[in-house]
A = this chain, B = another copy of it.
Amino acid sequence: MNASRTARERVRAELIREITDIARRQLATEGAAGLSLRAVAREMGMVSSAIYRYFPSRDDLLTALIIDGYNAIGEAVERADGSCARDDFTGRWHAVCRAVREWALAHPHEYALLYGSPVPGYRAPDDTIAPAVRDTAVFGRIVADAHRAGKLVPPPICPPPPAILAEDAEVVRSLIPDAPDDVITRAIVAWTGLFGMVSFELFGQFNNTITHRAELFEHNMTCLARLVGLPE
């Protein structure tokens, strides 16, 4: 009786998978706005209304793609970090930066879905929170490891962060354990700087201006690493 139930369930899971796969391909070629349930159904040889058995609305399909996307970039970042010597903190930072940029360049529309303009009227459900910080968690671990190893020496150019930021730092500290508030705010500068660079490149702000983007990226990530206090 369980086997029979799972028979149906398995077909259902298979179809859900096929829908998200096709949707992801459409997302990659057309962008989020061009994602059409009818087109997915057409490609599956289904009638459009049948899709609604599996995803009650277009937004729910989008949510599935967002979660997949966060997991994909998170995994890419984890793999990049994992391929470095544990005590090569600066190398790990650069590997992570490169992974983010390369994943973004390889999946521009998915990146835009995750880190670009929010889809209007779309409210991300709570399921997206956990996958959304996978990449950030990796970064936090690098900083925390470096700090624990006594290798984190922030240059004395930033003032101490205002006391009011301490409570926010408390939340972030779950990602960067034991780090002092100053390190945490610097880490935020670096992390937002990384995505600022990638977004500028991907969203066209470098058009007609910057041509050697990989080199500029590498160099700027080095500057940010130094700002955080990662060793040379």
Cβ of B116 and Cβ of A109 under 8 Å apart?
no
* Candidates B164, B167, B199, B222; contact of A199 at CB < 8 Å: B199
Tell me if A195 counts as interface (CB < 8 A to partner B): yes
- Contact pattern, A 118-130, Cβ under 8 Å of B = 1, otherwise 0: 1111001000010
The answer to whether A72 has its CB under 8 Å from any CB of chain B is no
Given contacts A189-B193, A200-B192, are A168 and B211 in contact (CB under 8 A)? Answer: yes
A108 to chain B, nearest CB (A): 9
A120 surroundings in chain B (CB, below 8 A):
30-34, 109
Residues of the B chain whose Cβ atoms lie less than 8 Å from the Cβ of A186:
223
A20-53 vs B, Cβ < 8 Å mask (1 yes, 0 no): 0000000000111110000000000000000000
B196 close to A117 (CB less than 8 A)? no
| Complexed CA–CA distance, A162 and B212 (Å) | 11
CB neighbours (8 Å) of A172 from chain B are: 209-210
Could you mark each residue 211-232 of chain A with 1 if its beta carbon is under 8 Å from any beta carbon of chain B, else 0? 1100110011011101100000
Tell me the residues in window 151-183 of chain A with beta carbons closer than 8 Å to chain B beta carbons: 155, 157-159, 161-162, 164-165, 167-168, 171-172
Nearest CB of B to A66, in Å: 11
Query: Which of B32, B112, B157 is the one whose CB lies under 8 Å from A223?
Result: B157
Interfacial chain B residues near A195, Cβ < 8 Å: 196, 199-200, 205
Q: Are A165's CB and B212's CB within 8 A?
A: yes
Cβ-defined partner of A196 (8 Å) among B124, B168, B199, B204: B199
Q: Does A137 contact B (CB under 8 A)?
A: no
On whether A210 and B34 interact (CB within 8 A), knowing A188-B220, A192-B193, A226-B157, the answer reads no
What are 25 A-B pairs with beta-carbon distances under 8 A?
A30-B121, A33-B33, A115-B203, A115-B205, A117-B203, A118-B204, A132-B205, A157-B157, A157-B226, A157-B227, A158-B223, A158-B226, A164-B212, A165-B216, A167-B212, A168-B212, A185-B216, A185-B220, A186-B223, A193-B196, A195-B200, A195-B205, A196-B199, A199-B199, A223-B227
